[in-house]
Chains A and B, each alone.
Chain A
């Protein structure tokens, strides 16, 4: 199972440049998720790798093979499509076998592979059926089976779960994760669903407007977003992003908000230090707030704020607090939230080390 790398990829459709000098590389056996909103170029990138689109310039490597000029069938890839794209006139078995048709396999080998895939994905009782006689989840398994029988070096997934209902999606997510852990293929997986990305990926590439905003492990992307876009895109409920002004006083660096509240930033590790007076955005994850501490916690910033709204979301509750002409969303235990009424004053503390500071103009992490 080889590594995959994109080198200086440019893709234009007529006058529109979708990807401009993109670089990305994943290791052997990695599960790479390309994550981003619609139109960010993630599916284009996948199609370029599959060979269904041609690059305008740049090079695509699989292992040490340059596949840029190869036909899709010669790239040793298998792909699972969003709409499953099963052949409607073929049976499940026919669908699996057609996946092998470009490879001149001996019959025994083909039989053995089809049987292996059908057992792995529990398709054996369905082998004689047509796709129209299958449920959504079964179709999805056939589509995955059709990709697996090829024993391809790299597996590609194009939003494979977005046509399934919520429960089935969770199940299939687990199955895909299990498959990756047992077979260890290199996977490139496109999705706009951050939960899929967080659960499945070993590496996430967050994309926006044809650029890779951040490339890293799920933890890095979640806890250390490199740009404002990543900070606002990843996380549900979303990260609180409050604009303020960077100031340096006798006490050290700090940020002053519109209502003149100040947060001390002495304990924040700056990647690059802004200048006094720069506009910055402060990001705080709703789940990192600590409620009603008995005493002041070291390394935390204390807030004493008025409750605006209380929302129950199921297993959690969200409390919105009025802060600096803005709203601060704070996750709370449902029991805690049940005792809270709009207009109450509450005490919350936030760990300074877990703040995320961004240059408000350039959008880069500070």
Chain B
């Protein structure tokens, strides 16, 4: 190996001006995201006395967990002063059925559209594609009327229903495109072997869907957890998600603004999606990269 290196020496690589520019740009972009996050984190551990001094970027002189405790147990959202806890559990209770309903609805629709001979499948897909671009605000009022008529307005059911409806176009397209890559002969073989729509789905297709399910799971958990508008418009008084509690806490608090408590509350609200990213992130990349299914 050394001989070969001597025979054909390579020119040492030099850092070019262009790569320096790219590095500078990337560093700035990273700072753009990191600096506010840094301020958020350090402030949440400071005492109010230090915050009033105004040095935003300084580290806490005395580290304290009090703002975190207060945000979780005692902070007031409106008249209710039991902290973010209630909102957290509401969010969990909203998340689970919304997640199941939206994924179940769109995975089956995507499977049918991709692998079965569905009449008007083309126009239907086009319609779904259009629907994916309709902003929620436009159909918010009709949806409220609809849920009122259905008698579910102001309940978890209504929130899960609206999440499923809104997520369906884009999720169906994602599943459908994923299943389109399954070799047609595989589904032909399954049709000849079993012929049952549900049996083929459960026994053959679902076990092949691991990667894409993780992608969709992450997308949906993030979007349902971070949702504010659906929660605030369709949820009843007792079913407000964490984001709504957070917003109430931050905007309506009387007296001095407890920056440290607000920051801690914001971080608490953001932690669950972050955990999901860290746990499932590896599979997320695999899922996006794995287009074809090899037999």
Contact = CB atoms under 8 A, between A and B. Distances in A.
Contacts of A81: 185, 188-189
Contact of B204 (A78, A84, A98): A98
Contact of B192 (A50, A84, A87, A89): A50
A85 interface: yes
B145 interface: no
Interface string B61-81: 000000000000000000000
Contact of B193 (A51, A84, A99, A131): A99
Contacts of A90: 203-204, 207
Given A81-B188, A85-B185, A102 B193 contact: yes
Interface in B48-102: none
B294 interface: yes
Contact of A78 (B183, B192, B199): B192
Contacts of B189: 79, 81, 85, 87, 146
Nearest to B209: A89
B168 to A, nearest CB: 26
Interface string B186-227: 101111111110010001100110000000000000000000
Interface string A69-105: 0011110011101111111111000000011111000
Contacts of A87: 186, 189-190, 203-204
A98 B195 CA distance: 11
Interface in B166-196: 183, 185-186, 188-196
Contact of A132 (B199, B203, B295): B295
A72 B195 contact: yes
B293 interface: yes
A52 interface: yes
Interface residues of A, number: 29
A355 B195 CA distance: 52
Nearest to A134: B295
Nearest to B293: A88
A81 B186 CA distance: 9
B184 to A, nearest CB: 9
Query: B-side binding surface: helix, strand, loop or mixed?
Result: helix
Contacts of A88: 208, 293-295
Query: A-side binding surface: helix, strand, loop or mixed?
Result: loop
A146 B183 CA distance: 18
A254 to B, nearest CB: 54
Interface string A130-171: 011000000000000010001000000000000000000000
Interface size of B as a range? 20 to 34
B191 A101 contact: no
A85 B195 contact: no
Given A83-B295, A87-B204, A88-B208, A52 B191 contact: yes
A51 B196 CA distance: 15
Interface in A203-224: none
A85 B192 CA distance: 12
A151 to B, nearest CB: 13
A13 to B, nearest CB: 13
Contacts of A83: 183, 185, 295
A86 B295 contact: yes
Interface of B: 183, 185-186, 188-196, 199, 203-204, 207-208, 293-295
Chain A to chain B: the 7 pairs with minimum beta-carbon distance, closest first: A73-B195, A89-B207, A85-B185, A85-B189, A81-B185, A88-B295, A101-B194
30 contacts: A50-B188, A52-B191, A71-B195, A73-B191, A73-B193, A74-B195, A77-B192, A79-B188, A81-B185, A81-B188, A81-B189, A83-B183, A84-B295, A85-B189, A87-B186, A88-B294, A90-B204, A90-B207, A98-B190, A98-B193, A98-B194, A98-B203, A98-B204, A100-B193, A102-B194, A102-B196, A131-B295, A132-B294, A146-B189, A146-B193
Given A50-B188, A90-B203, 14 more contacts: A51-B192, A73-B194, A79-B188, A81-B189, A87-B186, A88-B294, A88-B295, A89-B208, A90-B207, A98-B193, A98-B203, A102-B193, A102-B196, A131-B295
